Amino acid sequence: MLTLKGKNAIVCAGSSGIGKGIVSTLAEYGANVTTFSRNIEKLDTVKREVREKTGRDINIIKGNLSKSDDIVNVVKSARETFGNIDILVMNYGDPKVDKFMGISDDEWKYSIDMMLLSTINLSRMVIPDMIQKNDGRIVYVTSMTTKNPLRNFSISNTLRSGIVALGKTLSIELAEKNITVNSISQGFFNTDRLKNIIKRNSEELKITIEEATKNIENEIPMKRFGNPEEIGNLVAFLCSPLASYITGDNIQIDGGAVRSI
């Protein structure tokens, strides 16, 4: 039976989309969840919805992944509320989608801080808790771009691949401490980000939203987009005792969209 009862988790960027789905699912399986984002009003809504669905209260705090002081405050709040950290789920805001030459230095620096450096810093902060317990789970939620780079996704293609490489490195270093580190390469899921991508494709190709949607769906063998809770279920499995011998992996969840082995 899959259970996370008594486990203390931090989930990044949990106010909407993939993060919200992960927060809800982990709470449903019994985890004590702390999550944060820049929008406290959306977090309040997530907290209410999780309580109504699961009967559990999550810990919310306003914070920006790109700011190191905010990350320190998140970890402090999580420990004060629930205790030392057992689970870290790195989920991220949306990096800019544009042609390589259309991305400024400031946009690269922001994305590096928001994605890569936040992963390094949060991992460094919670790993001592896990070493002390001789047990822990770290999951980096990345993208199919780590296996199938996409046009106009220079930031995602570059930084998410680095995050996967970091996860592989940590899985080797931490295996003897019973700490697993895995990555998830997600495909196309029903989120606001996907809606924005479809809108952009529609404008660039001068086709309707419906046609742009179908163009993407037709590239997916299952002919549909995923739901955030489906990623939540995979994360919950990887964080449970059922996945105790899975580490260093980069697992696709994309309806078969990526064909590579």
Per-residue pLDDT of the chain (261 residues; tens, 9 = 90+): 799 999 999 999 999 999 999 999 999 999 999 999 999 999 999 999 999 999 999 999 999 999 999 999 999 999 999 999 999 999 998 889 899 999 999 999 999 999 999 999 999 999 999 999 999 999 999 999 999 898 889 999 999 999 999 999 999 999 999 999 999 999 999 988 889 889 988 998 899 999 999 999 999 999 999 999 999 999 999 999 999 999 999 999 999 999 877
Domain map (residue ranges) of the chain: 8-190+227-253, 191-225
Per-residue exposure over 203-218, b if at least 16 CB sit within 10 Å of its own CB, e if not = eeeeeeeeebbeebee
Q: For position 97, what pLDDT does the model report?
A: 87
The C-alpha torsion from 51 through 55 and 60 to 66, rounded to 10°, is -90
Q: Is the model's pTM score more than 0.85?
A: yes
User: How far is residue 55's CA from residue 109's CA, in Å, rounded to a whole number?
Assistant: 40
Question: Among all chains, which residue has been given the structure tokens 């952009």?
Answer: 200
Task: Place domain 8-190+227-253 in its CATH homologous superfamily.
Answer: NAD(P)-binding Rossmann-like Domain (3.40.50.720)
Q: For position 1, what pLDDT does the model report?
A: 78
User: How far is residue 139's CA from residue 11's CA, in Å, rounded to a whole number?
Assistant: 10
User: How far is residue 121's CA from residue 91's CA, in Å, rounded to a whole number?
Assistant: 14
In terms of Cβ atoms closer than 10 Å to its own Cβ (0-12, 13-18, 19+), residue 69 is: exposed
Q: For position 41, what pLDDT does the model report?
A: 97
